[in-house]
A and B are shown apart, each in its own frame.
Chain A
């Protein structure tokens, strides 16, 4: 490791801060992938991998990805819930790896709900 200067230190901080934001709980949005047995059988693990890959490609550090159990609509899995800070949560159904990546680009980053794959507004906890 080369010895740092004051500018190097600042650059390093900016590059690494994202990973720690996850632990400190500061984020602008949260994407929940439903990982019940039905979800996993329908390909939720692939959806998760595609989403994490897309987040990495875009260099985004302030979006949380979590898992939760079955959302109750097993026939429409894989499903995901997108919660952008200060907006109502939106549930997406019948996702494909390309679908979740589009949801991430257009909804999480762009702010537009992807109506084609959106199921409904709301999530299990908020009704």
Chain B
């Protein structure tokens, strides 16, 4: 019998860690108990994006969104909504500042403002069932590419779409494909296609979510690309740290092989192509093209100088076309719906030059000091303000927006003055940041920008492979200087020194990890120089973050002796009798700030 209702339980990594598998099992049990098993189907989908509110689920066709669910909510949910058709208001989502919960997806700003292209199937299909993907026009683009198009026509369509690499560089995919095809024909060798799923930026999880929620879209894109370029062999280079994504990708590849969508004679044609999965071992630099190829070959993952690009001499010196997960996932839709549909979204006119704009959409992971953290997809050209304040629901606890960091560790921090800037490849670069692979970290007024720069430089120092001196030594020295500044030991010449080292690294590093590494320092110096000056000259941290420059005191007039801070303090630094003002012993204080959070009367002062 056909199902009348589908319960779409999010099984992305975020919700799984909040217990969505157990929740799903409880719902299945309750459905069976209520004798609804033939009527209501439970589907485990990929990440639905609203990670802040997990575990989440959607009941279709009613389009009702539930969040923050516990196992104890299950009997009510099943009886009231699934049996009696009365959606349960108390389990629905209440947007910040909204008077009451809102029931449906289209009424929640987080979902309503998004434009789903790459994530079109998220929360809609079971990523482990190829039948679900096919039902949503999956592999139709492959049928079209194999049946009705020549390789040249496929490349031309991708060129016209203006699709630019979603991994960060923004290089036009069609141009890369054409170069790779020509290099292979010219040398009489077989080219290779590779999918870069070595996503390593802190706080970024776009590619993981795409593979988790719709692995076949990446596979289909790669098969189409292989057909266009003339490749018979492909690789997905994926992080070992993504267990759910790896498992779903492996399942999807098996299904595609069983259905004749990979392997010999794809879809009954004479085209052969197969994909192997190679796991990375957690080195950030292996996201860089030449280091990735070295790692694929089994060598140490270090980059080489790129006088000759990997598109001509890559994996085992064969012409190798490397695109990122999100780029590949865009391909089936462009082939299916045409370049004109794709260029209708985005900025600029890419009709005769893909460098003239940014077409299509971009997936971002929206994290940090923002109410609705999660995974979003928006059209290119949307403003930062729309992303942070409408989709993201603004800054928690009514604090002020200070900066947004885009582009991962090598990106930059943009201040409030840039909030109305359109988000596309070229605007972000012009403002001193970059698109990167799509990490977006929001910061409030309690964030110290010198400390942020220090954090990213520390990350890159650990991840630098050490092959070239400007990167290895430049990062280490920059980290020393930044650490000194955050400890209040900075000198007048430090800023000039940071700028000089940054300039050398930009010019002289072997790969993009090093040449873009100074960006966090340069962009914070550009927009927040006064904070550096405050640290160096006044020995103060305006945001109250750098521990060496702050101390806590208890305002004797405000303290009512409630004892909450004494309980919160882990070192016993606060003493006092209940109902009498307390005292803080500076020698024992580790400046963790727990007392500030515990105090209801704002009697703990940070100075």
Listed in ascending order, the chain A residues whose CB lies under 8 Å from chain B are 1-6, 9-10, 12-13, 16-20, 22-25, 27, 30, 32-36, 40, 45, 48-49, 52-53, 55-56, 61, 64-69
Contacts and interface: CB of A to CB of B under 8 A. Distances in A.
Contacts of B140: 9-10, 13
B4 interface: yes
A78 to B, nearest CB: 13
Interface stretch (B78-86, B361-369, B593-601): B78-86
Given A13-B137, A25-B60, A64-B61, A6 B84 contact: no
A80 B340 CA distance: 45
Contacts of B267: 4-6, 9
In which size bucket is the chain B interface? 35 or more
A4 B38 CA distance: 29
11 contacts: A1-B258, A3-B265, A12-B134, A16-B132, A16-B135, A17-B136, A22-B5, A23-B60, A52-B39, A66-B85, A69-B86
A67 B39 CA distance: 11
A17 B1 CA distance: 16
A67 B38 CA distance: 15
Interface in B339-368: none
B132 A20 contact: yes
Nearest to A26: B61
Interface of B: 1-6, 8, 35, 38-39, 43, 60-63, 82-86, 124-125, 131-132, 134-140, 143, 146-147, 258-261, 265, 267-269
Given A22-B6, A25-B63, A6 B258 contact: no
Contact of B125 (A13, A20, A67): A20
Given A5-B268, A6-B143, A69-B84, A20 B2 contact: no
B20 to A, nearest CB: 18
B218 to A, nearest CB: 18
A4 B146 CA distance: 13
Count chain A CB atoms within 10 A of each CB in B138, B258, B260 and give the residue with the most: B260
B125 A4 contact: no
B131 A67 contact: no
Contact of B61 (A1, A22, A49): A22
Contacts of B85: 32-35, 66-69
Given A24-B124, A35-B83, A65 B4 contact: yes
A5 B124 CA distance: 26
Given A2-B260, A3-B268, 10 more contacts: A5-B260, A6-B267, A10-B140, A16-B132, A18-B2, A22-B6, A36-B84, A48-B39, A49-B38, A66-B85
A6 B60 contact: no
Contacts of B136: 17, 20, 24
B62 A23 contact: no
A67 B2 contact: no
A38 to B, nearest CB: 11
Given A9-B267, A25-B63, A48 B4 contact: yes
Given A17-B135, A19-B135, A66-B85, A4 B3 contact: no
Given A52-B1, A68-B85, A16 B134 contact: yes
A53 B38 CA distance: 11
Given A4-B268, A13-B137, A23 B6 contact: yes
A36 B356 CA distance: 60
A13 B135 contact: yes
A23 B44 CA distance: 13
Nearest to B269: A6
A53 B1 contact: yes
Contacts of A17: 135-136
Contacts of A10: 140, 143
Nearest to B45: A23
Contact of A66 (B4, B35, B132, B261): B4
Contacts of A66: 4-5, 61-62, 85
Contacts of B131: 12, 16
Contacts of B61: 22-23, 25, 27, 30, 64, 66
B261 A22 contact: no
Given A6-B143, A10-B143, A17-B135, A22 B265 contact: no
A24 B5 CA distance: 12
A4 B259 contact: yes
Contacts of A23: 6, 8, 43, 60-61, 124-125
A23 to B, nearest CB: 5
Nearest to B260: A3
Nearest to B85: A67
A23 B43 CA distance: 10
Contacts of A5: 260, 267-268
Given A3-B260, A5-B267, A52 B2 contact: yes
A98 to B, nearest CB: 17
Contacts of A24: 124, 136
Contacts of B6: 22-23
Contacts of B134: 9, 12-13, 16
Given A13-B135, A17-B135, A20-B135, A35 B84 contact: yes
Given A13-B134, A25-B61, A67 B147 contact: no
A12 B267 CA distance: 13
A52 B84 CA distance: 16
Contacts of B84: 35-36, 40, 67-69
Q: Identify the 10 closest CB pairs spanning chains A and B, nearest first.
A: A3-B260, A67-B85, A5-B268, A16-B135, A65-B4, A68-B85, A20-B135, A64-B61, A6-B143, A35-B84
Given A6-B143, A35-B84, A68-B86, A19 B2 contact: yes
A113 to B, nearest CB: 22
A9 B139 contact: yes
Contacts of A45: 35
Contacts of A19: 2-3, 135
Most buried by A among B84, B137, B265: B84
B537 to A, nearest CB: 60
B118 to A, nearest CB: 17
B333 to A, nearest CB: 15
Nearest to B6: A23
Contacts of A56: 1-2
Contacts of B39: 48, 52
